[in-house]
Structure 1
Amino acid sequence: MLTSSRSRFYWANFGIPLLCAAVVFLMFDMTKIDIAFSNLLFDPVTQTFPLDQVHFFEKLTHKWARIIPNWTAEIALIGAILSFVWPLINTQKHLRLGSFLERCKAAPVLRFAYDHRRDFLFVVFAFAICTGVIHFLKSHTSVYCPIETTIYGGKIAHMEWYNNFQLFREAGDGRCWPGGHASGGFTMLALYFVARRYRWRYSKALMYGALLLGFVYGTTRVLQGWHYMSHTLWAGIFVWLACLLTALAFYGRARLEMPVLQKHEQLAQRAQPQVAT
């Protein structure tokens, strides 16, 4: 029973992404599908990707869109810092300070941060590790963006990532594979693993929302000529694996594979501490 459950967990969380990686490699990296799709978006007369010239589209989809992952990371970092504050405050000894914190509603925030310290730290580490993985792959493959290559009026020859991969040193100045902007959306998958820890019944909705956000982020850059579609898919695969490994380190497999709580179970769980007190 336990072996079956463990196998199912690893197959679903590692097997499926690795299978997707094989499919993406065979379908995109070993064919010209990426180029064929980008050709549809390229205007050969003006030698431009029309949407790359629309400044509002650039602001909306590239600059403003970063607010979502950026604010999430900042909130998690603030929460992680505040989680160390509450244990330092001895409200029994400093009654006035405790009373002041309760009146200004700071005490509940500090208690919440303390109770969820592991979750805040997990999100901070997950975001940092995902960013590190993507930056490592970018610098050690040196793939140039479509708009920078000779195919679309640039000066650099097109090259696949596996033709230029260097494990122990930077491969060059190209920084286009995997998709960095897409990975920013995919890092929101960290919230899915927090939800899994608490067996929240809407955890899958969080997962699908993070995947959709990453695909939207990545696709908008494809439309502008700054990425191929496969760059987005690879970003999603690597971010998922990075988040999963970080979640296993923070929470453990047993906790992550527990089934989600149904509504009546959630109500019973909330009522249990009240009965105990």
Structure 2
Amino acid sequence: MQTASRSRFYWLNFGIPLACAVVVFLMFDLTRIDIAFNNLFYDPVTQTFPLDHVHLFEKITHKWARIIPNWTGEIAIIGALLSFLWPRLKAEKHAKIIDFLEKIRVAPVLRFATRHRRDLLYVVLAFSISTGVIHYLKGHTSVYCPIETTQYGGKIEHKEWYENFDLLKVAGDGRCWPGGHASGGFTMLALYFVARRYRWRYSKAIMYGSLALGFVYGTTRVVQGWHYMSHTFWAGIFVWLACLLTALAFYGRARLEMPVLGKAEEPALVAQPVGLMPADQ
């Protein structure tokens, strides 16, 4: 039974993303579908992508959109740092400080951060690793954005990522593969694995929401001519794998594969004393 459960876990979490990678490679990287899709948003008369010149569209979809992953990462960093503060406060030595923190309602925040220290550190590390993987791939494949290539009035010849890939050194100046903006949305998948740890019944909603966010981020850059659609798919695959591997290191497979709690079971989890869910669980 355990073997079947383990196999199912690895098939769902590793098998499906790897199968998607094969499909994306065969369907997009070896064909001209990417170019055909981008052609829909390109004006050959002016040799521009019209939406690339709409400042409001750029501000909303590119600049403002970054707020969600940026603030999530910053909150996780602040929370992780605060998680080390509460355990250092001893009732016999810091009674006045504790009373003051209780009075201004900071103490509950510090206790929450301490209780969820592992989760906060996981989010910080998962974000960092995901970003690092994307930056590594960008530098070691040197793919130029569509708008920079001769296909769309630029000066650089279009090449696929595997034509330039170099494992050990920077391949060139191109920095377009995988999609960086899309990966920012996909990093929210880290919250899905935290939810899975606690078997929260809305964990799948977080997963679907994070995937949707990444695809929206990526697609808005496609219609502006700064990415191909396959760049978004590749970003999602790599970020998923980065978040998954980090979650396995932090929580272990057994915790992540447990079934989500039913509606009737959730109050029992919430009602558990803090001592039953220590920060290093």
Q: With structure 2 as the length reference, what TM-score do the two structures score?
A: 0.96
Instruction: State the number of aligned residues.
Output: 275
The aligned residue for residue 247 of structure 1 is 247
Report the structure, 1 or 2, having the larger helix content.
1
Cα distance in 1 for residues equivalent to 2:266 and 2:230: 40
What CA distance in whole angstroms lies between the structure 1 residues aligned with 2:104 and 2:41?
Answer: 55
CA distance in 1, matches of 2:273, 2:133: 41
Q: Which moved more, 1:88-97 or 1:183-192?
A: 88-97
Q: For 2:239 and 2:248, how far apart are their aligned partners in 1? A: 14
How far the C-alpha of 1:269 sits from its partner, in A, is 2.9
Say whether 1:28 aligns with 2:3.
Answer: no
Counterpart-to-counterpart distance in 2, 1:272 and 1:136? 43
> What is the 5 A alignment of 1:55-134?
55-134=55-134
* Match in the other structure for 2:170: 170
Question: CA–CA distance in 1 between the matches of 2:163 and 2:266?
Answer: 51
Letter in 1 for 2:264: H
Q: Which residue of 1 aligns with 2:39?
A: 39
Whole-angstrom CA distance in 2 between matches of 1:271 and 1:220:
43
List gaps (5 residues or longer) in structure 1: none
Structure 1 stretch displaced more, 67-76 or 88-97: 88-97
What does the per-residue CA deviation read over 1:51-87, in whole Å, with 9 as the maximum and x for residues that have no partner?
A: 0010110000000000000000000000000001111
Distance 2:228 2:151 in 1: 13
Please list every run of 5 or more consecutive structure 2 residues that lacks an aligned counterpart in the other structure.
Answer: 277-281
Q: Aligned-pair distance for 1:98?
A: 1.2
Q: For the Cα contact (< 8 Å) 1:183–1:232, is it kept in 2?
A: yes
Q: Deviations over 1:99-151 (max 9, x none)?
A: 11110111111111000000000000000000000000000000000000000
Q: One-letter code of the match for 1:185? A: G
Partner residue, 1:234: 234
**Cα distance, 1:91 vs. partner?**
2.5
| Contact 1:91–1:97 (Cα < 8 Å) also in 2 | no
**1:233-272 CA-partner distances (Å, limit 9, x unpaired):** 0000000000000000000000000000001111233345
**What's 2:2 paired with?**
2
Look up the equivalent residue of 1:118 and give its one-letter code: R
Deviates more, 1:261-270 or 1:16-25: 261-270
What is the percentage of aligned positions where both structures have the same residue? 78
Q: CA RMSD in A?
A: 1.1
1:24-50 alpha-carbon deviations (Å, 9 max, x no partner): 000000000000111111000000000
